[in-house]
Each structure stands twice: as C-alpha cells, then as structure tokens.
Amino acid sequence: MRAADLEIPFRGVRRAADAGPAPATPSNEPGGIAWSVAESSILESAHDYACCMTQHEFFSHVTAAVIWGIPIPHALVVPDELHVSVLAPHRASKRPNVSAHQARAGRVTVTRHPATGLRVSSPASTWASLGAVLTHHYDVVAAADAVVRVPRMPAGFPFPPDARTEPLASVAELKASVAAGRRVGVEALRTALPRVRTGAASRPEAWTRLTLVDNGLPEPVLDYDVFDEYGTFVACLDMAYPELKIAIEYDGDHHRTDRQQWSRDIDRLEALAALGWHVIRVDSRLLFRAPGELVRRVRAARDRRLA
C-alpha cells in the first residue's frame, strides 16, 4: 500500500502516481463532465475523495458546479481544491485541499450525479450556493441559464442516442431554492431570477444578451432557426433580431482552431448572407474587453435596417 508508484491524495486513498488528470472534454454542455484541465483535475480529486467521504458529506459550491457542468469563471476553478458540505448538526471532515461547509437542513437538496454517481448538491441547490462566490451579476444569470436550459436540436432534428433531453432544473426549482431561507448572496440570486432564460447555450451568450439589453437594445431571440425559401434548414443562430434579419453569433476559440469548424462557418455565413442576413460575430476580446464596441456594432446594424 505504500509502493513508490502510489500516491495518497487523501488519507486512506491510494492511486497510481502517474495517473494524471482525466482528459479534458471540449464541451460546456450543462450536466456534462469537464471542459478544461482544471475541471478535469477537480473531477479526479472528487472521485478520489468519494472513496473516503462520510455518509453525511456531499460535494457543493464550485465543486458541484464543475460536476454538473455549470459554467463559472475559470479563476474560481482551483485544481485539486474541493468543496464538501454536510447538513447540520453534522460536521465535514477536515482534510488538506478540502473547504468544508455546513448547511441547514431544508436549504440544500442532495442527490447523485447520474453519470458519475457522485453525491452532490442538486443543480438548483448548487446554483443557489454560487450566489456567495460569483461576484458579477452576469455570471449569476449565466449559471442559472445553464441549469434551466431546455436541450433542443435545431429544426426538430432527433437527439443523438443517450443525449440529455431535459433541463437540469426548472425555473420553479431555482425560485424554491432561493425561497428556502436566508443565505449569503441571496439578493444576487433574487436579482438574477427575472433575467434567466431557457434558451441560452453558454456563459458568453448570456453575457452578450445582458450587455445588449443593459445598454438599451431590445432583447434578442435566442436559439433561432433559419430556413430558406424552400423550407430547408440553414442555421441555428445564437441570437437574432428576426424581423431585421440581424444575427449575433458568439465564436469560441474552437471556431478558430478547428479547421472543419472554420470551413463550416464559411459555408454557413455565405448561406445566411444569401438570404439577406447580417451576421455580427462576437469573440471573447470584443465581449469582455470592448463591450462598448459590441453595442455600437449591434446598434448600428439595427439603425441601418430600420432606416
């Protein structure tokens, strides 16, 4: 048990010393697994800790968000740091790299993650706990968007086998979690609830929508399907002003690094242009470093179409 090729992540737990973090999965799909090395590291640590956690303990806060695939700023995702909670009067174990929390009964719902089997706070309870750690209003909304997003395939295409077809939680469940009792960050949660939408596919899309609305522009339609004059599906747009044929598309880094994605984007943009659509492409630089320019571009496009 103390061989040189074993390491001890937690007392009573052994693992192969060269078993690095699980490979990152390039997906931000809520309910899924990791989307970066940091998240992969946390998941590995969670599986290790699950081998020694007491019957009263469960993963919560940032760790639960990672397990459920709820998007949060990467600065909050510290590799190997776990957040573990218990319901009062129990106390969480004190272990290295573990932030222990105690919650009141009735404030948190505990469940098991369907894919990993890890004992974890429910998606709605997890979101409610994030009100204490998310410092920007848009991130509180974006996390809620991910929890209540209703999975859909563009144009009614069938879901792939084993795809999740239900949201992680309903808006009603989010409201119930907020109403369950006083907690740190409850005002941030209450402020976010009216702005939560079921059609936002990612944190950047939520930030884009909120940036536009908070600067006086109409709220765009989310997840909008475009068809040509023959009824053939052309594209599903992140955001759109359909009456003006203005599309707003957020391009993550994979749009630049994936050659096949790049080629698909070219074909897609050509098809939209042929139908009279004006596409405004948004990247992380524009959204997070120059939001004023983003607003200017969208407003200018609307003004031209309305003229």
Q: Where are the domains of the chain?
A: 6-198, 206-306
**Cα Rg, the chain, nearest whole Å:** 21
Q: Is the pLDDT of residue 153 over 80?
A: yes
Give me the pLDDT at residue 29, please: 40
Q: Is the Cβ–Cβ distance between 238 and 248 less than 8 Å?
A: yes
Question: For position 172, what pLDDT does the model report?
Answer: 98
Per the CB < 8 A criterion, the answer to whether 294 and 208 are in contact is: yes
**pLDDT score of 253:** 57
Residue 11: pLDDT over 90: no
> Which sign does the torsion angle of CA 156, 157, 158, 159 carry?
negative
Mean pLDDT of 236-241: 98
Quick check: helix, strand or coil at residue 108?
strand
Phi, psi of 227 (to 5 degrees): -125, 155
> Contact at 8 Å (CB) between 46 and 82?
yes
Strands 233-241 and 246-250: antiparallel
11-25, 41-55, 119-133: lowest mean pLDDT where? 11-25
Angle at 107 between CA 79 and CA 138, to 5 degrees: 55
Chain-centre distance for alpha carbon 274: 33
How many other C-beta atoms can be found within 10 angstroms of the C-beta atom of residue 190? Answer: 14
List 15's β-bridge partners, or say none. Answer: 7
Token code pair at residue 265: 């984007």
Domain 206-306: homologous superfamily in CATH: VSR Endonuclease (3.40.960.10)
Mean pLDDT across the chain: 88
Residues 213-231 have a mean pLDDT of 98
Q: What's phi and psi for 250, nearest 5 deg?
A: -90, 125
**By the 8 A CB rule, do 252 and 204 touch?**
yes
- Provide the b/e sequence for 38-75 (b: ≥16 CB within 10 Å): bbbbbbbbbbbbbeebeeebbbbbbbbbbbbbbbbeee
pLDDT band at residue 37, thresholds of 50, 70 and 90? confident
What integer pLDDT is reported at residue 307 of this predicted model?
Answer: 94
How far apart are alpha carbons 119 and 45 in whole angstroms? 14
- The mean pLDDT value for 252-280 works out to 82
